[in-house]
């Protein structure tokens, strides 16, 4: 029996207009209404009209992306489509926890709003940068970062085999990119980013988030959710609040998370949210699995039909 895995996109995938053509559906409207009531933000205006420089601010991006993804999740659930397991890239993990009934929509949005604020406002001052290193293995990327003599660079996102994003200050990233090239990297690409996310520089944001999460209700997961922090499923004995707080200053391990899901029977991956980044990662790991993207009304309608067929075949 094959399994359906939901993957929820993370920050960086946002685009002005995202979620707009989904609004004719009542379930989608309700999720946006809840989001605007909880956050007291005009999420529709930011998402649908921008401007882009407002939407891309971390404190705005995070609730906007999560609202869109939870609205799509609501539509899938309304149509009887459920996941067997789920994961999300960084921010997307909160949607995976809602999918597994560990978090309510309201609490997820409330936490994500604060998470975005803390990651933006409690980020130490400095010239921060990120870069994607392509074409060498994880160990070689780690080695390149360790060889940096000026500034600071460290792996932040283990995306898929041969693709790791590193984070640090401008000087450290520039040097790490140069060293990575010398060690055989096929390409190095500087990324547009606003902070040293998923590194120890976010310690203050991590502590503030932990304090904020303490009074929130988080239950055990009702199905398999793969954690970014170690690419393993949440277990009953895990302190989810502590893990979510550490999450902002620890590397994301999407590559190993996807491998774990495939090894445990996932053969249909549904990427939920703007962009198609996670689908690219899945295809780099295994071309045999089915990948479905949902990022607008047309792709949602198509996905519902395709997933209903897959579920019907499984039941036969």
pLDDT, tens only, 78-91:
999 999 999 999 99
Residue with token string 């707080």: 245
pLDDT given for residue 203 in this prediction: 96
Q: Does domain 3-122+200-315 have CATH number 3.40.366.10?
A: yes
For 39-84, write each residue's pLDDT tens digit.
Answer: 999 999 999 999 999 999 999 999 999 999 999 999 999 999 999 9
Q: Which residues of 32-56 are buried (b: 16+ CB within 10 A; e: fewer)?
A: bebbbebbebebbebbbebeeeebb
- Catalytic entry in 100, 198, 255, 257: 198
Active site residue 247: no
Whether 128-191 and 3-122+200-315 are alike in CATH topology: the answer is: no
Domain boundaries, the chain: 3-122+200-315, 128-191
- Catalytic entry in 90, 167, 206, 255: 90
Q: What pTM value is reported for the model?
A: 0.96
Active site residue 299: no
In the CATH hierarchy, which fold is given to the domain comprising 128-191? Alpha-Beta Plaits (3.30.70)
Average model confidence (pLDDT) across the chain = 95
Query: Distance between CA 50 and CA 164 in Å, rounded?
Result: 30
């Amino acid at each position: 029996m094959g399994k359906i895995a939901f993957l929820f996109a993370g920050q960086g995938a946002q685009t002005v207009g995202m979620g707009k053509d989904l609004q004719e559906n009542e379930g989608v409207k309700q999720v946006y209404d809840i989001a605007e009531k909880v956050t007291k933000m005009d999420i529709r205006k930011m998402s649908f009209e921008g401007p882009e420089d407002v939407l891309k601010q971390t404190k705005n991006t995070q609730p906007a992306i999560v609202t869109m993804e939870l609205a799509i999740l609501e539509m899938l659930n309304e149509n009887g489509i459920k996941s067997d397991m789920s994961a999300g890239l960084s921010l997307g993990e909160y949607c995976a926890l809602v999918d597994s009934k560990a978090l309510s929509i309201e609490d997820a949005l409330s936490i994500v709003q604060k998470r975005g604020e803390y990651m933006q406002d409690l980020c130490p001052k400095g010239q921060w940068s990120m870069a994607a290193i392509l074409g060498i293995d994880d160990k070689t990327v780690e080695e390149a970062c360790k060889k940096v003599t000026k500034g600071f660079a460290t792996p932040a996102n283990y995306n898929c085999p041969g693709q790791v994003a590193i984070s640090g200050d401008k000087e450290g990233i520039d040097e790490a990119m140069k060293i990575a090239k010398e060690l055989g990297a096929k390409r190095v690409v500087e990324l547009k980013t606003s902070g040293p996310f998923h590194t120890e520089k976010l310690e203050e944001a991590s502590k503030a988030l932990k304090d904020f999460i303490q009074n929130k209700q988080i239950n055990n997961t009702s199905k398999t959710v793969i954690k970014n922090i170690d690419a393993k499923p949440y277990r009953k004995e895990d302190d989810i609040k502590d893990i979510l707080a550490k999450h902002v200053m620890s590397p994301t391990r999407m590559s190993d998370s996807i491998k774990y899901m495939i090894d445990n029977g996932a053969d249909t991956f549904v990427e939920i949210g703007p962009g198609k980044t996670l689908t690219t990662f899945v295809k780099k790991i295994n071309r045999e699995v089915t990948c479905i993207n949902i990022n607008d009304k047309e792709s949602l309608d198509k996905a519902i039909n395709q997933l209903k067929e897959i579920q019907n075949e499984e039941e036969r």
